[in-house]
């Protein structure tokens, strides 16, 4: 269950840095150019003229970095990033926040973590994702380096999970989830404690709902009592008897000092490995989940048990308006959940699928008596749309559906407490990409996935949904404009952001701009993307896939000849010496030569509108000729730019 964390506050860090700054001031005996810059900078700062102090701070930061005096280098970067942040020059502030962190790391300190957090808070981000129909591409980007899926891992897509026991509309009767939120969930979360029996009732109710069970198994008395024996073997046998997939999250958040199993990585690893071996023998339906908290980040890796003992890597990852629910601390509303996963993802996703084993976005702060519905909606979209698309190895999300009232961080994460949040959540999770059934190699029912719009993923077929990830230092967004080839085609002021375009609306070589405005109506961000549509081909209602996409030449649609002919049951031969193609089916023989408009069907000459051509090593010919040659009926849907061929 979510606990108050021991993160270092910005205020606390500032006090520590000030003390460190005083401690490392150079003695007057070193009166030289460095001392002159130091004195001048301090004099200007004392006069309130920080702008003129900047060149001196820059000199000092560079000097100490060159000499390897990392603490001093970090301290002067700290002065620079604070100055640039205060005047709203966020690009320069981010540069120095990141540089300061690098220097603290070199100095053997973890004081830069909060600076990276601030850099992410003020970073302007516009990323664009779109639907993709090519399942082979979706599977490729969602695979680990080994090419082998883990136990219960979907081929692509993200399992939908929930902790609902404290939800008054669901409780632990998981079969109610569909009626309340419009969709069954794949994973239900239960908590268990070492020394107590296997939570059979929760497993039974998960099975009734067609779901799997995530069990957060916590050794409340620490790791010493965790041992192989009758209790553990019986627990494992009961897990097997449950007859459902189980994700076993043993001793989670072990990197945090707030749990009793923190502090001895070697012991933790030994206990985790022992459990893995027991469950591998007794309960093959159990997947072992190693699940730290996302903070403190520097204490995560020492607890990793090793690839041979971990099936999934999980993480407890929360955001909140105020750190630890304390309104007296600086606000945290500029923090988005997306960046919080980056470090863990970059470290482990090449090897293991990731899950958010606990996560949540509060819509109300009890401590501040303040409503955060708009902020929650912004970050719920990021949680259920942006994060699964940005991180294709993120294969499960379990939501902590609890109103904490005045305990722990004093936030209301409950989805059903607010009808607006409940409706919004239901809308987000309706997407088939969020999977409602655990199975090895599972994938969305509509076979669609998502890719980033970039140089490798500009072109789409039929139609595509475009989802922007937009983040600005102002936090709240006033409007998002979508500009296609110089014309505003949509404006959005309400969440969730995104639009759908048909292929016929997007000619080859189109340009999409995303313009972002703050609540005051000022444009604060702009990003430009190249996008295009491609012609698609359907044969008897089934879309064909090609290594070389169809192209338009002089107004004619040229389609891959061999792929379509063979799909229609013809045999195809190519003679390189004469650059000719011969295709046969039944009593019909077709012969054509590249770059010549005359073709021969059973010896009779016919003229093509456009000659067959070699494109990237593939023979393409006019779509109507290819479709009709062996008796097919050819049609054209201009809105989706689809050639339809019926051979029935």
Residues involved in catalysis: 253, 358
Residue 207 burial class via C-beta count within 10 angstroms: exposed 0-12, middle 13-18, buried 19 and up: middle
Q: How far apart are CA 405 and CA 412, in angstroms?
A: 6
Residues 6+ apart with CB under 8 A from 44: 50, 52, 53, 56
Q: How big is the CA angle at 529 (ends 155 and 536), to the nearest 5 degrees?
A: 55
Question: b or e along 497-529 (b: 16 or more beta carbons within 10 Å of the residue's beta carbon)?
Answer: bbbebbbebbeeebebbbbbbbeeeeebbebeb
DSSP 1: -
Give the other-Cβ count within 10 Å of 624's Cβ. 19
Pair 278, 236: CB distance under 8 Å: yes
DSSP 84-98: HHHTT-HHHHHHHHH
SS3 state of residue 533: strand
Pair 3, 253: CB distance under 8 Å: yes
- Helix (H) and strand (E) counts for the chain? 18, 34
SS3 state of residue 354: strand
SS3 state of residue 255: coil
Q: How far apart are CA 255 and CA 154, in angstroms?
A: 28
Pair 572, 562: CB distance under 8 Å: yes
SS3 state of residue 17: helix
Q: In what order do the strands lie in the sheet with 571-575?
A: 571-575, 580-585, 588-593, 598-601, 604-607
SS (H, E, C) 542-582: EECCCCCCCEEECCEEEEEHHHHHHHCCCEEEEECCCCEEE
């Amino acid at each position: 269950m979510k606990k108050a964390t021991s993160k270092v506050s910005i205020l606390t860090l500032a006090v520590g840095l000030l003390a460190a700054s005083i401690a490392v001031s150079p003695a007057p005996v070193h009166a030289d150019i460095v001392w002159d810059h130091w004195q001048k900078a301090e004099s200007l700062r004392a006069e309130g003229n920080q702008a003129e102090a900047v060149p001196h701070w820059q000199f000092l930061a560079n000097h100490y970095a060159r000499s390897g005096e990392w603490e001093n280098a970090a301290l002067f970067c700290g002065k620079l990033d604070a100055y640039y942040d205060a005047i709203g020059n966020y690009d320069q502030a981010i540069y120095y926040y990141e540089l300061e962190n690098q220097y603290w790391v070199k100095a053997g300190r973890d004081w830069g973590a909060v600076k990276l957090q601030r850099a992410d808070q003020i970073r302007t981000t516009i990323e664009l994702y779109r639907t993709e129909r090519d399942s082979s591409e979706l599977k490729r980007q969602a695979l680990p380096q080994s090419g082998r899926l883990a136990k219960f891992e979907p081929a692509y897509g993200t399992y939908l999970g929930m902790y609902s026991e404290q939800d008054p509309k669901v409780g632990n009767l998981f079969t109610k989830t569909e009626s309340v939120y419009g969709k069954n969930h794949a994973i239900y979360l239960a908590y268990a404690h070492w020394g107590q029996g296997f939570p059979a009732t929760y497993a039974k109710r998960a099975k009734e709902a067609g779901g799997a069970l995530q069990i957060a198994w916590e050794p409340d008395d620490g790791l010493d009592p965790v041992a192989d024996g009758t209790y553990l073997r019986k627990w494992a046998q009961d897990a097997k008897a449950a007859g459902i997939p189980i994700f076993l999250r043993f001793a989670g958040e072990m990197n945090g000092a707030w749990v009793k199993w923190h502090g001895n990585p070697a012991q933790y690893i030994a206990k985790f490995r022992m459990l893995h071996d027991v469950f591998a023998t007794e309960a093959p339906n159990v997947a072992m989940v190693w699940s730290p908290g996302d903070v403190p980040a520097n204490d995560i890796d020492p607890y990793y048990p090793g690839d041979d003992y971990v099936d999934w890597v999980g993480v407890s990852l929360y955001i909140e308006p105020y750190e630890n629910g304390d309104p007296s601390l600086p606000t945290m509303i500029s923090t988005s959940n997306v960046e919080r996963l980056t470090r863990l993802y970059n470290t482990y996703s090449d090897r293991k699928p990731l899950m958010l084993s606990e996560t949540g976005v509060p819509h109300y702060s009890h401590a501040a008596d303040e409503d955060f519905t708009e902020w929650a909606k912004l970050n719920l979209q990021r949680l259920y749309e942006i994060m699964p698309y940005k991180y294709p190895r993120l294969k499960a999300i379990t939501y902590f559906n609890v109103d904490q009232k005045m305990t722990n961080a004093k936030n209301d994460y409950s989805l059903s407490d607010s009808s607006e949040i409940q409706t919004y959540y239901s809308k987000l999770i309706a997407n088939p990409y969020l999977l409602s059934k655990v199975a090895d190699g599972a994938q969305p029912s509509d076979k669609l996935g998502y890719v980033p719009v970039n140089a490798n993923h500009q072109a789409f077929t039929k139609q595509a949904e475009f989802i922007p990830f937009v983040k600005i230092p102002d936090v709240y967004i006033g409007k998002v404009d979508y500009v296609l080839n110089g014309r505003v085609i949509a404006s959005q002021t309400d969440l969730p952001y995104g639009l759908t375009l048909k292929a016929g609306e997007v000619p080859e070589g189109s340009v999409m701009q995303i313009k972002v405005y703050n609540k005051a109506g000022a444009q604060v961000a702009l990003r430009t993307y190249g996008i295009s549509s491609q012609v698609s081909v359907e044969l008897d209602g089934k879309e064909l896939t090609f290594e070389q996409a169809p192209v338009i030449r002089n107004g004619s649609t040229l389609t891959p000849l061999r792929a379509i002919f063979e799909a229609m049951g013809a045999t195809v031969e190519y003679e390189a010496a004469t650059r000719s193609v011969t295709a046969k089916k039944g009593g019909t023989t077709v012969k054509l030569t590249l770059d010549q408009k005359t073709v021969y069907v059973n010896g009779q000459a016919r003229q093509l509108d456009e000659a067959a051509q070699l494109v990237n090593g593939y023979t393409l010919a006019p779509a109507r000729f290819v479709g009709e040659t062996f008796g097919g009926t050819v049609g054209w849907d201009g809105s989706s730019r689809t050639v339809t061929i019926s051979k029935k």
